[in-house]
Structures are given as C-alpha cells and as structure tokens.
Amino acid sequence: MAATTTPAAASTTASRREGPRLEIGQELILLVALTVVIGVLALTSERFFTVENLLNQGRLLTEVGLIALPMTFIIVTGGIDLSVGSIMGLCAILLGYGWKNLGLPLELAILLTLLVGTAAGFVNGLVVTRMGVPPLIATIATLALYRGLAEGISQARSVRGYPDWFLALGQGELLGVPSQLWLLAFAILAFGIVLARTRFGRSLYAIGHNETAARFSGIPVDGIKLAIYALSGFVAALAACIFVSRVSTTRSDMGSGIELDVIAAVVLGGTSIFGGVGTIWGTVLGVVLIQLLKNGLALTGVKGDATIVVIGTVLILSILITNLLQRRKGVEG
Amino acid sequence: MQPILDLQDVSKSFPGVQALAGVRFDVRPGEVHALMGENGAGKSTLIKIMSGVYEPDTGIMRVDGREVRFTGPLDAQRAGIATVHQELQLFPELTVAENVFVGHAPRTAWGGIGWKAMRERAAEILASLDIHDLDVTAPVSSLSVANRQRVEIAKALSLHARVLVMDEPTAALTEADVERLFGIVRKLRDRGVGVVYISHRMAEIFALADRVTVLRDGRYVGTRPAAETSEGELIAMMVGRTIDQLFPKLEARIGPPVLEVRDLVRAPVVKGVSLTVRTGEIVGLAGLIGSGRSELAQAIFGITPADSGEIRLEGRPVRIGSAREAKRHGIAYVPEDRGSQGIVRAMRIDQNVSMAVLDRIAPKGFVDRAAEAALARDAIARFNIRAWGIRQLVGKLSGGNQQKVVLGKWLATRPKLLIMDEPTRGIDVGAKAEIHKLMSELAAQGLAILMISSELPEVLGMSDRILVMREGRIVAEFVRGQADQETIAHAMMQVQREPEGAAA
Amino acid sequence: MTSATLARSRPSAFSGLLRRLSSQETLLLLALVLLFAVVGAINPRFLAERNLETIFLGNAYIAIAAIGMSLVIISGNIDVAVGSLIGVLATLSGSIAVAGWPVWASWLVPILAGMAATSFMGFLTAYLNIPSIVVTLGMLSILKGGLISVTAGAWISNLPEGYGLAQMELLGVPVPIWAMLALTAAAALWMRYTALGRSIYAVGGNPEAARLSGIPRRRTIMLVFLIHGLFVGIAAVLFATQLSVIQSTVPPGLELTIITAAVVGGVSILGGTGTVVGSTLAAILLAAIGSSLIFINVSPYWIRAVQGVLILVTVLADLWRRRRHRAVR
C-alpha cells in the first residue's frame, strides 16, 4: 500500500496550488479591470460618472444582460446559441404583427411572443439533443431560419404606436430606477443562485465537463439541454418585448448581431467556451464592462460603429489572456 | 550486442510531480523488452520520452550508440522509433493505405502522391505481416479495433522502424486477435526489430518477452530475463511487497434473486439473454469483446434500453428506459471506460461522489453542501481513496483511486444490484486487490453483483457463478470451482470466427 | 499474396467511385436540374438568358468563397467573419482603384490583404489556441465596425476604365465563370491528390493523432486559413468589380450564405469530410432558389428562411446517413 501513496501524494501539491485559485482569478481580474475602466472614464469625461448616465447605461444593457444569463448556462454545458438575435427579431415582429395585423390585445400578443420565443428555443434544443447536431451548426441554421421568418412575416414593414403602459416597460422608472433594470436584477439573482447552488446548476457543470459520465450517472442530460435552450428562447423573447418598448417600434432586423455582444460578455466573464467553467457573476461583470467601454468611448467622441470594434477586440483579448494564464499555471491533461 | 535505443539516468518532472527519476532502459535488436509497473509508475512518461512527445529534463538517450535529442515525435520517427499508442492514432476518413503512409507518402516524379505505389506498398507491408484480409482502399472508419491496430503496426513498419513501442496493445482486443498480434510481434522480433511491450497482463509478458524491466514510483527497480523470473517476483518488484492472493473472495450467504432477466434483446448485438443474480452473489460474465457483454449491461442499466424481453427486480417486472430509471430501481453501473463514462476529471471528489445522488442531497433543488462533504469523506474513508481531501480534482488521482471514486458514487445510491464492467482494467496491482476485497465485502453484506471481466483469473477468483456470453447469447454456465481458464476460454471461442462486425 | 490483395482492392476502388458519385454532389446536381425544370415550367422567363446570367455570374464569387470555407470547415474550424472580410476587401479594391493606382494593383492588393487577414485569424486559432468561432466572431465585429466607421457606408463610384474584371470575358465566357470553374477544379484536385490536401482531412478528422503522426496541426490550420484568404480575396475582387459602383458596407448575411453553401455542399459539420465540388454546386443551387422565389411569386424576403431550412435538412441527412452506415456495419 505504501507504494501507491507516493504518486497520489505527489500530484496532491500540484492540484492544491491550482484548484480553487482559477475560479476566483478570472472574476478578480474582471473586477479590477472594471474599476480601472470606471476610474479612467470618470477622469476623462465629466458626464460619465453620474447617476443619470449610469442608470441610462443600465437601461441600454438590459437586453444583452438578460440574454447573457441563459447563454452562460448553455456555454457552461459546452454548447452555444447563435440564434438568440434572430429569435429576438422574430419575436419583435410577432409582437407587432399579432397586435396590429391580427388585432390581438397587446397583452395576448406579448403572451404569444413569449410562447413563440420559447418554442423557437425548444426547437434548437430538439435539434441539438434528439438529432445530435452540434449546437454551433444547429443554431447557425436556425439563426438564418428565424431571421428569415421575421423578414418573411414583416415584409420590411415596421409597427409603431404602442400604448403608454407598454412603453413604460422599456422607458419608465420605478423608484428612480429604470423599470427593466428591476427585472434584470431579479433575473441575475435567480440565474446566479440556480447555477451556483442547485442540483440543476451542478448538472450543467457536469454536462459541460463530461457529458457521457453525466448521462451514465443518471443525470437527465437531454431534458436539461432542452430546458436551457428553451429558456434561452424565452429570455430572448422577453428581451424583444423590452427592446420594442424601449425604442417604440418594431423592425425585422432587431437584435441582429446581439449574439456577438452576448457571447463576448459571457466569455469575457470567464465562462469557458469549451464548457464546464463559468459563473453568472462573471457574466454580469462582463456585460457591465462592455457596456461601460462602449459608453465611455462614445463620450470621448468615438463614433457608434467603432465601438463594436472594441467588443471584437475585447472578446479575442480576454480569451487570449485566460489561455495564457492557464498555460502559465501548467494545467496538464 | 549494442542496443538500438539506450536511455541512461533519465529524469522528468511536471509541476508538482517527479514522474521519472534516474531511469534506465534499453532495447536490443530482435528482442521483446517488456516494461511493467503499477499505474503512475512512470511507464507512459518513459514511452512518451522514447517517442519524442516529451523531452527529458536530464539523462542521456542514445540511438546506435550515438547521443540524440528528440524535439518532437518526428525526430523519434526519423530515428526509427515508432509507437503504437493505446488510443490509436488513425484518421477515420482516410483509407488504410493513406493511414499507413500518413506524413510520408510515396511521391511521383512531379511531387504528387504516388497513389498506386502507396496502395501497393501498404498491401506489401500488410502481407509481410501475414495480414491478407485487409482492403487497403477501405476507409479506416469501417474497420474493427483489431484491424485498426494492424494498420498502426503497418504504419510503424512503413517508417522502417527498428524500435516498436506498444502501449497496452491487447487492452481492447479479443482473445483470437491477441493470438494474431503475438504472431505479428514475434515476426517483427525475428526480423530484428526491437519491441518495447507494455502490459498489465502477466501471461502476455511470459508468452512474449525476452527481458522485463520494472518501474516503481518513477524509479528504476530492475531488469530480469523473462526465463529467469516469476510472476511472484515481478509483482513483488512492482509493489515492493509480495501478494499471496490476488482474489480474496469471501464466502457469502446467497439469498433470493435480485435481478432476473428473461430473453432480453437489444439489436444488433444482444440476441436473447436470460440470467439471474441473487443477493450476496457475484456473477461473473465472461466473453470476448463484441460478444455483447457491455451492451447487455447497458441495456439492463437503461443507457440503451432493451428492445424486448423482461427484467424483474426483486420479483417485480420493471421497465427501464433510462439510466435515471435504472438508478431509481436500485441498479448501479460502474462502466467499462472510466475516463469517459465514469468520472468527471475536472470536477472534485465530492462533486463526483454526489453526482448520482443529487436528488437526495438536493431534495428541494438546493445542494446541501454539508451532506455532500459528509458523503465524500465517507467514501474516502470507506474505500481508502488516497487524496489530500474531498476537494481534490478527480483527474489528479491515480487510476485505482479514480475507480474507487466511481464505486463511491454508485454505492452512495444504496443499490441492490451493482453491475461492474471491467472493474479493474488498467488499475495497478495494489488497488486491484483492494477493489476485489471491497467487492467481496459488499457481496457479504447482501449486495448482488454482476461482474463483466476479460481477465479470466479475475472471473475465476471472484465469481460464485460464471456465465459465458458469445454472439449475443449466454452459452455456458459454471459454478465456482467447476471451471478453469481453459474450459471458459473454450466456451468463449467455440466458433473460430472473428467477431469483425460486432467489434466496430 | 500481394497480388491477391491488390486484386481485391481494385473492384472496391471502383465501388468507391460509385459511392462517391451517388453522394452529395449527385444529389445537388439532381436538385439543381429539378429546380430549373419545375420553376422553368411554371414560369419560362426563369430560364431566360438574362436570369441565368444573373444566377451564375452574380453568385460565382459566393461559390469561390465557399471553397475556402469548405477547407476551413473540413479542418475542424469555422469562419463567420468571411462576409465582413469580403466587404472590407471590396472597399479596399475600389479605394485603391479610385486613388489612381494601376488596375492590376487594385485586383492584387485585396487578395494579399485577404490572405494577411485570414492568416492572422489562423495564427490566433492555431498557435494561441483560441477557438475559431471566437476568433472570427471577434474579427467580424472588428472588420464590420472598422469599415463602417471609416467609410460611413459611402458609395465608391468613378471607377477607372478596365477595372471591371467581373464584367470581362475570355473566349466568350465571363471571367467569374472561368474563375469559379477553374478554382473549383484546382481545389478539388488539390484536396484529393496532394499530401497537403489530405493532411487537412487528417487534422479535421483526428487532431490528436495528426500531432503524434508528425502532421503539423498548427501549420496545416495556418495553411488552410491562408488558402481560405486567397479564395476570399478573389471572391472580393469579383464582387467589387461586378458593378460600376461599390457600396462600402458589409453585404448583410453574406457569411451565412457562404457557410450554408459549404455545409449544404456536403462538408460534414463534424470536420474531416467533404468536397469542394459540392460546395460550388450548393452555392449555385442557393442562388437559383433565391432567384426562383421571385419567378413563382414568393416574396424574396423568405430566402433566408429557406437557407436555414436547407442547412438543417442537409445536416440531418448527413447525420442520418452516418448513423445508418454505422448500424449496417
């Protein structure tokens, strides 16, 4: 027995050194980065570090923030959902179409929108689980499909003239805070707790690290995947409603490219694109950091379109840095 | 005789682990030199150094007496050292011939691939190994495991390898294929190739090897001519002590049936199986790879639900459509492929142990971390898992300890029936004995155990009853003490036919 | 003994050829013929010369870009930045031409720039281990954002005489058709018969094994991206020289069309298999479907939905075929 103890004990030191540190690492780096960004922006522009501006930025990041939450779940399982922007577009169109063209009460149109969004996500989940199509390709296909449906249904017509109560969702305030931020805060809390503390969250990590072993342990892998893709569709539909309410109009190109912002935020937040690693808190930091960078650049006079250059750069750099850090720590297979 | 390859005083360390310290090893032309040692002894690090995957920290490597340094696998290949890794390194979409000549295809005068020459030479090499039944234009994805291995060996020969390193080549082979492999290895040896042969199976070592070198904990223990040593001595060298008995099965009171299977069918492999396992009983299931053993187990466990047939648990008929349902009925399954089906390497011991009982430790959805920690501490104490704590990553444990984690995970479900598929494959001798002891203790406590194993001594030593499976059916049954290795092997292989289709 | 083995190998090589013919390429060709027959019967104007010219000529650049994309996907990667890159390179070409550089430079520089850009992506993917989906998503936004903020989407006109490469003809056949046919044939032969071409399949099919067999995985992926850049560059020049003006924006959804063509063309999504002939056929099929919508009175706004359905159907068919293949064995 004495003989076998030694290798186990030897490897012990290695894992003790790297085990817990990695998880805290990424979020700490982000927190520092966020503080630095806020500090620099506050110094360069007077208009930046005001309650009014920050709350307004919160309003603007709500859609990305919401969609990033289920996206974190999906990426933690080793999947990806590129179709969220298209689902948003399809749902926005259906909201307007149901209300204006079908003459539904707006409440019912919202319900229909949420249902369709969930169904769209559910279809993604079905294609991934039942047909075994890799998520990247499955959702590239539905990205085209859902956007195509949105374009086909809308025929490039936009819908306007929503009632005031609906516009309050995206433009109103509650206790001095933009109304959709309350919703986002609640969602962050719920998603965060589910991922960190529950059976469901634990199963997501297990699936991301080793799907077969999870299946062999009796974890309902397919059911869980179906649930998170459907959830992603539902949240995209919710974001669509908030988006329509915020900008008072409906167009078929809504949400196009938002998957980029969302994935950038999630990955920047420390979630591994290979699955198994990531937290909701990291994602939230990622979302906030990207939005503030955009805002800060805009305030210092950079044109709006150039800010997406920043997102792309940040996305690549953040993974690059994580990779380098991990390699330095000598993670051996 | 001058060795072809000679390593002296080789050391290699990884962050936190000294994998090899002052090891020596040499291969002479025309010999089979076996390399043995428990898992974690440093065998795989040593062969990775020989094949140029790792560079040693210190030490000297000589080829034909000249000092060399390999900076990558290509260097080793050029020096005439070819390796057949455990996970075969083939390209499923390319043909046999292309795989044989991958990276060094014959060229035509104007630089293109010489397709015809390549096919002919691949066929020639295979023929020189007495392999005549392989179509060189077939894609490798259509071949059985044994045939893929032959392609790997042909690949090594196409490189004019003078040293062939084989890492547990028989791990995934059927008995008939093992015999054929031995024939090929002997042929190579007679041709003057030096073969480095890594295996856990003593019988193979004594059947093939000229010399045996043993490593322990990354250190060189000794080299013996195979003719002058014994199984006992080698085991003693490996573990640093003698083992009197490998398989300490205790007598247990055998009670009423737990599992009764009638005419179970799962296309295309399982063709109507009936069996019974009782409380306190260990039933050994022997059979060639491809005979349907694992498929039967996975049908009972609901991974690939049965097409037809009846499964009764404690007398009640049940329908099992998923692993989850099987678990709920009190069935546990320790799978064959530990790395991909059993453990989650990147997760901690506690998270692995609780994985099958999340329902219980998170009754309202929230994981009770105290209960989880208690569960893991229990498992570590009960199974003697060597780790620094419950938060250690399972990937960092040795194979034997990983297997104990899998056992801990499943015993936490408090099963009535435990199915173990190759419970000690790839596990060092010490941990193997511990797992066997554990199995017999569990049986003594009233657990019903169905054990699938390719190692006949294990089957003979552990089982109360032995079932032999062939071509999807149970073809023979023996009571403990009634059978020996020959009778079982005979039942397993009665029809001299390669289970080609089933193995793929 | 050797001759016996060889004798056996010959008929199976023949049956391999048959298998190949009964594959995706043949299916696509059949679909193409069927589409022309059916839509032509409903509305004969679909077969009018001007429309056929639009279909083939106007989409040759997509087929060419899809060849590069096929290589990228076969190697186990993806490039979602390809549409943005074409937009940027086309603008570059036009700007150079308008700035008074010689016409050949305005053709050559974008191709070199394209190769430089994809090499950079290949470098990040191969040597810094960033998954290609992340690299190219990032590049997509960098290129797109960069282009819009520099040019504000302005039109480039007053292009010099002799610039319109895509409008020229050689032996009575338009240059884009020549380019499409020649590049498809060259790429197909290269993929099928050269060591480098085969190593792309190896890297896509089993990267770990490729590394241990001494196939330089990283260098192969770099090479794939470099070649991809060549094709994208040529595609961008043909795209830029199609009309007498160039809009300096990213054509919306172009990357999707190109990926669709590559996937529908029989390039397995799992990496390791596929042919470039299929992707060219698929590009033409997609263009023909798009065009046919108008002739059978369906709003062209549905084209994207059709693309999505097509990818899904092909991918599912591919998986189904693999599964059946496995079950039979």
| Type of residue at B231 | E
Nearest to A147 among C137, C299, C304 (CB): C304
Residue B338 falls inside a structural domain:
no
| Interchain CB distance below 8 Å, C8 and B135 | yes
| Interchain CB distance below 8 Å, A323 and C130 | yes
Residue B323 falls inside a structural domain:
yes
Last residue within a domain, chosen from B239, B272, B306: B239
B174 in helix, strand or coil? coil
Average pLDDT over residues B224-243: 75
Cα A244–Cα A249–Cα A252 angle in degrees, nearest 5: 85
| Interchain CB distance below 8 Å, B398 and A3 | no
Nearest to A8 among B322, B356, B397 (CB): B397
Average pLDDT over residues B388-409: 88
Nearest to B341 among A15, A212, A220 (CB): A212
A194 in helix, strand or coil? helix
Please tell me the predicted confidence (pLDDT) of residue C129: 83
- β-pairing, B473-479 vs C155-156, is unpaired
Average pLDDT, chain C: 81
Range of the domain at B393: 345-410
Minimal CA separation from C248 to chain A, in Å: 14
pLDDT at B266 over 70: yes
Provide the CATH number for the domain around residue C258: 1.10.3470
Residue B103 falls inside a structural domain:
yes
Please tell me the predicted confidence (pLDDT) of residue B156: 82
Distance CA A126, CA B101 (A): 41
Helical ranges in B309-392 per DSSP H = 323-328, 349-353, 358-361, 369-383
| Interchain CB distance below 8 Å, C145 and A320 | no
Task: Pick the range with the lowest mean pLDDT from A131-140, B29-38, B425-434.
Answer: B425-434
Tokens of A112: 């229909």
B35-53: pLDDT as tens digits = 987 656 788 889 889 988 8
pLDDT at B60 over 60: yes
| Interchain CB distance below 8 Å, A7 and B216 | no
Average pLDDT over residues B419-433: 82
Of the pLDDT bands very low, low, confident and very high (cuts 50, 70, 90), residue C208 is confident
Please tell me the predicted confidence (pLDDT) of residue A49: 80
Residues of chain C found within 8 Å of residue B137, distances taken between Cβ atoms: 9, 12-13, 16
Which residues, other chains included, contact B299 with Cβ-Cβ below 8 Å and sequence gap of 6+? Answer: B264, B266, B270, B305, B306
Please tell me the predicted confidence (pLDDT) of residue B414: 93
Average pLDDT, chain A: 84
CB half-sphere exposure, C261, CA atoms < 13 A: 34
Nearest to B93 among C16, C201, C213 (CB): C201
Residue A92 contacts C, CB cutoff 8 Å = no
pLDDT at B420 over 80: yes
Task: Pick the range with the lowest mean pLDDT from A219-233, C239-253, C308-322.
Answer: C308-322
The pTM assigned to this predicted structure is 0.78
B188 with B233, same domain: the answer is: yes
Minimal CA separation from C24 to chain A, in Å: 18
Return the partners of chain C (3 or more C-beta pairs < 8 Å): A, B
Residue C9 falls inside a structural domain:
no
B235 with B181, same domain: the answer is: yes
C227-257: pLDDT as tens digits = 999 999 999 999 998 887 888 777 878 888 8
Residues of chain A found within 8 Å of residue B347, distances taken between Cβ atoms: 205-206, 209, 276
Most confidently predicted of A63-77, B88-102, C28-42: A63-77
pLDDT at C300 over 90: no
Of the pLDDT bands very low, low, confident and very high (cuts 50, 70, 90), residue C5 is very low
| Interchain CB distance below 8 Å, C6 and B123 | yes
Q: What is the DSSP letter of B397?
A: S
Please tell me the predicted confidence (pLDDT) of residue A35: 86
Residue B337 falls inside a structural domain:
no
| Interchain CB distance below 8 Å, A147 and C134 | no
Total CB pairs under 8 A between chain A and B? 141
- What length is written for chain B? 504
Residue C188 falls inside a structural domain:
yes
**Backbone φ, ψ for residue A319 (5° rounding):** -70, -40
Closest of B169, B152, B158 to residue B121, by C-alpha: B158
Q: Best of A154, A268, A305, A307 to disrupt the C interface by mutation (most C CBs within 10 Å)?
A: A305
Average pLDDT over residues B454-464: 83
Nearest to B344 among A7, A15, A209 (CB): A209
Last residue within a domain, chosen from B194, B217, B239: B239
Tokens of B263: 């005419």
Residue C1 falls inside a structural domain:
no
Please tell me the predicted confidence (pLDDT) of residue C321: 67
Interface subset of A 280-299, CB within 8 angstroms of C: none
Distance CA B463, CA B483 (A): 11
Residue B53 falls inside a structural domain:
yes
pLDDT at B167 over 70: yes
Total CB pairs under 8 A between chain B and C? 91
Helical ranges in B35-159 per DSSP H = 43-50, 73-78, 96-100, 115-128, 145-158
Cα–Cα distances in angstroms (integers) from residue C306 to residues A148, A153, C257, C300, in the given order: 7, 13, 11, 10
Evaluate whether B18 touches B40 at the Cβ level (below 8 Å): no
Residues of A with CB under 8 A from a CB of B: 1-17, 19-20, 197-200, 202-203, 205-206, 209-210, 212-220, 276, 330, 332
Minimal CA separation from A186 to chain B, in Å: 18
Please tell me the predicted confidence (pLDDT) of residue B1: 72
Distance CA A332, CA B138 (A): 36
- By the 10 Å C-beta count (0-12 exposed, 13-18 middle, 19+ buried), A22 is classed as middle
Residue B318 falls inside a structural domain:
yes
Of the pLDDT bands very low, low, confident and very high (cuts 50, 70, 90), residue B243 is very low
Residue C2 falls inside a structural domain:
no
Closest of C212, C200, C202, C203 to residue B77, by C-alpha: C212
Minimal CA separation from B57 to chain A, in Å: 16
Average pLDDT over residues C159-167: 80
Distance CA B325, CA B333 (A): 12
Residue C7 falls inside a structural domain:
no
Please tell me the predicted confidence (pLDDT) of residue B231: 77
| Interchain CB distance below 8 Å, B94 and C202 | yes
Provide the CATH number for the domain around residue B483: 3.40.50.300
Distance CA C242, CA A111 (A): 47
SS3 assignment for B263-300 = EEEECCCEEEEEEEEECCCEEEEEECCCCCHHHHHHHH
B46 with B77, same domain: the answer is: yes
Distance CA C71, CA C319 (A): 20
| Interchain CB distance below 8 Å, B103 and C215 | yes
- By the 10 Å C-beta count (0-12 exposed, 13-18 middle, 19+ buried), C121 is classed as buried
Interface subset of A 63-82, CB within 8 angstroms of C: 80
Residue C3 falls inside a structural domain:
no
| Type of residue at C38 | V
A118-152: pLDDT as tens digits = 999 999 999 999 888 889 888 988 998 999 899 88
C271-293: pLDDT as tens digits = 556 778 888 988 988 888 888 88
Most confidently predicted of A190-194, A324-328, B493-497, C210-214: A190-194
Last residue within a domain, chosen from B239, B260, B275: B239
Nearest to C138 among A307, A313, A323 (CB): A313
Nearest to C145 among A132, A267, A312 (CB): A312
Strand partners, B194: B163
pLDDT at C124 over 50: yes
**Domain count across chain B:** 3
Q: Best of C212, C219, C325 to disrupt the B interface by mutation (most B CBs within 10 Å)?
A: C212
Average pLDDT, chain B: 84
Residue B112 contacts C, CB cutoff 8 Å = yes
Tokens of A274: 């290979």
What residue in A sits closest to B38 (Cα-Cα)?
Answer: A4
Of the pLDDT bands very low, low, confident and very high (cuts 50, 70, 90), residue A318 is confident
Please tell me the predicted confidence (pLDDT) of residue A208: 93
CB atoms within 10 A of CB A116: 23
Distance CA A189, CA A176 (A): 20
With both helix axes pointing from N to C terminus, report the angle between C132-151 and A258-268 in degrees, rounded to the nearest 10: 130
**Domain count across chain C:** 1
Residues of chain B found within 8 Å of residue A2, distances taken between Cβ atoms: 240
pLDDT at C133 over 80: yes
Nearest to C201 among B94, B123, B127 (CB): B94
C43-77: pLDDT as tens digits = 888 888 788 888 888 889 999 999 999 999 888 88
Greater confidence, B31 or B114? B31
Taking each continuous run of H as one helix and of E as one strand, the counts in chain A are 13, 2
- β-pairing, B194-198 vs B163-167, is parallel
Residue C133 contacts A, CB cutoff 8 Å = yes
Nearest to B98 among C4, C198, C211 (CB): C198
B463 with B492, same domain: the answer is: yes
B86 with B215, same domain: the answer is: yes
Query: Where do we find the tokens 């770990």?
Result: C208
Closest of B433, B453, B442 to residue B408, by C-alpha: B442
Query: Where do we find the tokens 């051996």?
Result: A332
pLDDT at A10 over 80: no
Residues of chain C found within 8 Å of residue B94, distances taken between Cβ atoms: 198, 201-202, 205
Task: Pick the range with the lowest mean pLDDT from A284-293, B271-280, C256-265, C294-303.
Answer: C294-303
Which residues, other chains included, contact A263 with Cβ-Cβ below 8 Å and sequence gap of 6+? Answer: A71, A75, A80, A315, C134, C137
Average pLDDT over residues B50-69: 89
Residue B51 falls inside a structural domain:
yes
Which residues, other chains included, contact C320 with Cβ-Cβ below 8 Å and sequence gap of 6+? Answer: none
Note the ipTM here. Answer: 0.79
| Interchain CB distance below 8 Å, C210 and B91 | yes
pLDDT at C328 over 70: no
Residue B487 falls inside a structural domain:
yes
Instruction: Report the percent of chain C where pLDDT is more than 90.
Output: 21
What residue in C sits closest to B502 (Cα-Cα)?
Answer: C329
Which residues, other chains included, contact A46 with Cβ-Cβ below 8 Å and sequence gap of 6+? Answer: none
What residue in A sits closest to C267 (Cα-Cα)?
Answer: A137
Residue A156 contacts C, CB cutoff 8 Å = yes
| Interchain CB distance below 8 Å, B53 and C198 | no
Average pLDDT over residues C178-183: 90
Greater confidence, A44 or C23? A44
Interface subset of A 113-142, CB within 8 angstroms of C: 127, 131-134, 136-138, 140-142
Which residues, other chains included, contact B352 with Cβ-Cβ below 8 Å and sequence gap of 6+? Answer: B343, B344, B394, B405, B406, B409
Cα A74–Cα A236–Cα B366 angle in degrees, nearest 5: 50
Please tell me the predicted confidence (pLDDT) of residue B501: 40
Please tell me the predicted confidence (pLDDT) of residue A130: 86
What residue in A sits closest to C298 (Cα-Cα)?
Answer: A152
Range of the domain at C223: 25-328
Residue B115 contacts C, CB cutoff 8 Å = yes
B121-138: pLDDT as tens digits = 888 888 887 777 788 888
Q: Best of A133, A153, A272, A325 to disrupt the C interface by mutation (most C CBs within 10 Å)?
A: A133
B283-304: pLDDT as tens digits = 999 887 668 888 999 999 999 9
Give Cα B304 distance to the centre of its chain: 22
B114 with B149, same domain: the answer is: yes
| Interchain CB distance below 8 Å, B132 and C214 | no
pLDDT at B504 over 70: no
B148 with B83, same domain: the answer is: yes
> Could you give the maximum distance between any two Cα atoms of chain B, in Å?
77
Residue C77 falls inside a structural domain:
yes
Average pLDDT over residues B397-408: 88
